[in-house]
Amino acid sequence: MSGLKDLFQSADWKKEKHSPVIEVSGKAKKAEPLEVAVSIGKEIPHPNTSVHHISWIEVYFLPENEKFPYQIGRFEFTSHGASVQGPDTSTIYTEPKVKFFFKTEKPGQIMAVSYCNIHGLWESTQDLQVE
């Protein structure tokens, strides 16, 4: 039996609609808020229907020379067109895109994990330098 770590998938987000795309706004400066955006389907839109959708994104930060990451946030997307009339009968659809701010004094790695209800867990990382 494989462990959870063996179930994560990754790919170039320009060719795969499930991979989280991490975008950092500007340069990170010690103890100053840094804006980060994470989205799914930047180049190839991911379906957002009752049957096929992104359920959540989690973001972590692993400071350089530390063993464990810190969870920055968990973002859930709960409206995928379903209503009491059935699948895809509502006009309410959430988009798997988030923007948040965090501070750090250390360089490290931003890690994002997303979950597609059909295609499972996807991950990506981005190195972060701090001035």
Residue whose pair of structure tokens reads 């229907």 in the numeric block: 49
Cα separation, 98 vs 120, whole angstroms: 19
d(CA 35, CA 78): 24
pLDDT tens digits, one per residue of 80-89: 999 999 999 9
Hey, what amino acid is at 74? R
At 7 the pLDDT is 78
Average pLDDT, the chain: 92
- All domains in the chain, ordered by first residue: 4-128 (2.60.40.730)
Residues contacting 56, CB < 8 A, separation 6+: 74, 75, 76, 77, 114, 115
Q: Is the pLDDT of residue 39 over 80?
A: yes
Catalytic residues: 16-18, 46, 52, 116, 119
> If pLDDT is split at 50, 70 and 90, which confidence band does 1 have?
low
Percent of the chain with pLDDT over 90: 79
Q: Which is more confident, 44 or 12?
A: 44
Q: What is the pLDDT of residues 12-37, one digit of tens each?
A: 767 778 899 999 988 899 989 999 99
Which DSSP category does 9 fall into?
A: B
Which has more pLDDT, 113 or 12? 113
